[in-house]
Structure 1
């Protein structure tokens, strides 16, 4: 069972451990721009894995360089603005523009600091592309099968992709019927509620988490 309680934790898991892509449906093609996410969402996920493996898995790479390369991939492949709005739940309406801007930056920083180091542990796990299906609101679901190298049964993971300004972006990942956006929203909303319903409580929590991660990586 894959147990990573954070949306981009699983993203990092896939990118760091998911090379060796096997496409059941069709040969790999070029990755040009398209009008709708469903046109090439599967190729987008496969290409993203290839890029990550090529840029991030060298064990001799300095951690700071790896982190900045991962940051570029996060910005290019995730719709962080969309995710930030969703994981705040009802409190997104209470957040000021300044709080939303800081939250978005803190969320990205947490993603980068927490998960970039995972790429050092790549050991050849396989990812098989199963299918792509159009969903609601012009999103596309990309289903993949993750084959471990220890003999454990494969796990099915569904990636939800939509288009932003002509580019595919990941907005959620569903593992064993659990949405990572929903999981993260439950955690963040709980932090805000404990802080009296103030978004600042979550911002402070993320500031502290990021500071601890920065110290542990130094």
Structure 2
């Protein structure tokens, strides 16, 4: 019997072989590349969150004292100038040098009040870092996933941190709470204010000033209510 070591496949068989090869190749391409967790990024986030929880857990802090503590925490660890420029979108080149300087000052104040206000809603909590993964392929950005856990049985609140890797370490660019990226939320609002006012940048400055004034008013109301509660307890 004569054995054929190689036989030219028929056209149909050749097509099947090629098809199988393509499918196997695509399967390997589609397999996700699981990058190692970024321990430095996770430690950075954990340190910020731990300090925030410590601030919130201190009794006797007035709203002003909380703002002062949060200002030092946020401004030192957030890339406020980049956040400010990002929030302007296509209007980033609109302001004059003087307007831009005023805007960045207001944005810093605004960020402190917004974050302090939102975080103050989460009391009696613990913080857990869950994972981290690179964002993009340049190695400059990292997303850290975490959650706020409550001892009261309340469902955990997911929090994601968008970090930028700089020469001086990490900086927070945005924070996602309950599915909403806060900087992107402000970007949408700021762009709408400028657009609805015919591109007038001064309208945005007035808008931010109004928001800050409202936050101060709300804080003063809280102080008044707290003082009234203390006075009532003293009388009783």
TM-score range (shorter-chain normalised) is 0.7 to 0.9
| Distance of 2:105 and 2:165 partners within structure 1 | 21
Of 84-93 and 123-132, deviating more is: 123-132
2:30 alignment counterpart:
none
One of 164, 168, 180 as aligned partner of 1:162: 164
One of 208, 211, 216 as aligned partner of 1:209: 211
Query: What is the number of equivalent residue pairs in this alignment?
Result: 181
Distance 1:181 1:155, change over 3 A: same
What does 1:1-218 correspond to in 2, within 5 Å?
38=38, 40-117=40-117, 122-136=122-136, 137=138, 138-149=140-151, 151=153, 153-175=155-177, 178-218=180-220
Q: Secondary structure of the equivalent of 1:158?
A: strand
Superposed CA offset, 1:132-165 (max 9, x none): 1122241111011333456454443321101234
Any unmatched runs of 5+ in structure 2?
Answer: 1-37, 221-236
- The offset of 1:112, in angstroms, is 2.4
Superposed CA offset, 1:90-115 (max 9, x none): 00011222222111111121222344
RMSD (Å), alpha carbons? 2.4
Q: Point out which structure has higher relative CO (alpha carbons under 8 A, 6+ apart).
A: 1
- The offset of 1:56, in angstroms, is 4.1
When normalised by structure 1's length, the TM-score is 0.72
Write out the 4+ residue segments of structure 1 that deviate beyond 6 Å after TM superposition: none
Q: Secondary structure of the equivalent of 2:92?
A: helix
Q: Secondary structure of the equivalent of 1:83?
A: helix
- The offset of 1:82, in angstroms, is 0.8
Contact 2:53 2:126 in 1 (8 A): no
| Distance of 1:50 and 1:100 partners within structure 2 | 33
Distance 1:105 1:65, change over 3 A: same
Any unmatched runs of 5+ in structure 1?
Answer: 1-37
| Distance of 1:173 and 1:208 partners within structure 2 | 23
| Distance of 1:179 and 1:54 partners within structure 2 | 24
Q: Secondary structure of the equivalent of 1:141?
A: strand
| Distance of 1:191 and 1:139 partners within structure 2 | 29
Contact 1:56 1:70 in 2 (8 A): no
